[in-house]
Amino acid sequence: MTTTWVGATAKQIARAVRRGDASATQVVADHLEQIAISDPELGAFRVVRGVEAITEAEKVDDQEDLANLPLAGVPVAVKENTAVAGLPTWHGSAAARTPEVAEEDHEVVRRLRGAGAVVVGVTKMPEMGLWATSDDASGAARNPWDLERTPGGSSGGSAAAVAAGLVPIAQGNDGLGSIRIPAACCGLVGLKPGRGVVPVDFGDKDWFGLVENGVLTSTVADAALGFSVLAGLTPQTLKEPGRLRVGISLRSPVAGVKPDEPNVGAVTTASKLLTAAGHDTVTADPTYPAGVALGVLATWFAGAYVNSEGLPVEDLQPRTRRHIALGKAAMRAGLVRQSQRDAWRERCIRFFADRSIDLLLTPALATAPPPAVLYSGISWWKNMQANAAYAPYQAPWNYSGLPAIVVPVGSRPDGLPLAVQLVGPPDSEMLLLAVAGQFELQNPWQRQNLV
């Protein structure tokens, strides 16, 4: 008999609650207890909604018909830049925090709750979501696999919470890799949907359309379930994909950055798994033009500038202020161009057609996750170097608006997770999940590491 629901998947919890084998109240209480034990050291949460979450779980238990709730009683965490009714929206810092509490949930939170999920808290991120590490003056979120390492960013708190078993599923968002980078750091499944598939509705805070909402989970089945809920789709069992032709590329989008030996090995492992599943693989290196790199940087900088409107800029971190100044310059120089993004998207779509490939496989990271130090107190340039050196592979696919997923494939010699990235053409989210499921079936990973 189950004594605690900590460590159970979202699908297992929802099935048990729907059947009456467990109560949402007990499930949520178990996870709140684990949060109280683990999070003081882990630093994943900004706010924990203890009493409120229990009250909401009781309401789930009181519903007469749970059959149509795919996430019945499932504890979830929400990234702190996403509105949760009754809470302010922090955006990663006291200076960027929305002073008033949100009157209503963001649409993705509304959909999670509508599916029966219970929000147990909001998770930490770097200031304004700008970085691939998650810390502020109060401390750093830490990686459950090695507390001296970062869980990534900007959805680092969400990733740490799932990898430590504090919740089975967490919402995140991805502007230049902010779901996929933490997923890779923490041994999770992280899907960035394609453009327009899941509601964003952040107004000016979506970095000119680079940002997509998604979930982080420890299993592919949970990732498919969470994606379906956020996309407003009826959850369905993943179908076995037919024989695919998958391009393999180690080429880094950042000049001078190459994957280390363990990450090269991760791609080799994934390639073998694809072949064992009946797929064909072929070398297929995308070309990453310098103009596209400049466009990505300009849009990233300009996103910070636009998002800083009305904020006490002098109270923001020095690295953020530098980003804002560069964004202002990029806007004045006309470097943020939708036409360039549209052209890059079309070029990426043609890449799949011209190479006759269905998906592209790349490393997820170039190195191990960096140390969990206070990057918020380090210079802008050192932050830029640290981000580019370890996580160069994600940004082009935000700029193109194409879907991409990170999936674990093993461990580094030091025990930290290894992962790969799969990228697909428009509307290939379910195909990406199906192939990730084949990886999981052939090469299961350790799902969590309780702190």
Mark whether 252 is an active-site residue: no
The alpha carbon of 296 is separated from its chain's Cα centroid by a whole number of angstroms, namely 19
Which burial class, exposed, middle or buried, applies to 100 when counting CB atoms under 10 A from its CB (0-12, 13-18, 19+)?
exposed
Does a cis peptide bond (omega within 30 degrees of 0) precede residue 178?
no
Which residue among 79, 124, 192, 205 is the active-site one?
79
Residue 121 and residue 84: Cα distance in Å, rounded?
9
* Cβ-proximal residues to 179 (8 Å cutoff; 6+ apart), any chain: 155, 172, 173, 190, 191, 192, 212, 214, 215, 216, 406
Residue with tokens 């992962």: 419
Active site residue: 38, 93, 134, 154, which one? Answer: 154
> Active site residue: 38, 178, 218, 428, which one?
178
Residue 178 annotated in active site = yes
Going by C-alpha positions, the residue among 238, 255, 203 that lies closest to residue 91 is: 203
Q: Give the three-class secondary structure for 372.
A: coil
Structure tokens at 338: 């939708």
The answer to whether residue 154 is catalytic is yes
CB 407 within 8 A of CB 420: yes
CA atoms within 13 A on the CB side of 77: 36
Q: Decide if 436 contacts 428 (C-beta within 8 A).
A: no
Burial (CB count <10 Å: 0-12, 13-18, 19+), residue 97: middle
Comparing CA positions, the residue from 391, 383, 233, 245 lying closest to residue 323 is 383
Active site residues: 79, 154, 178
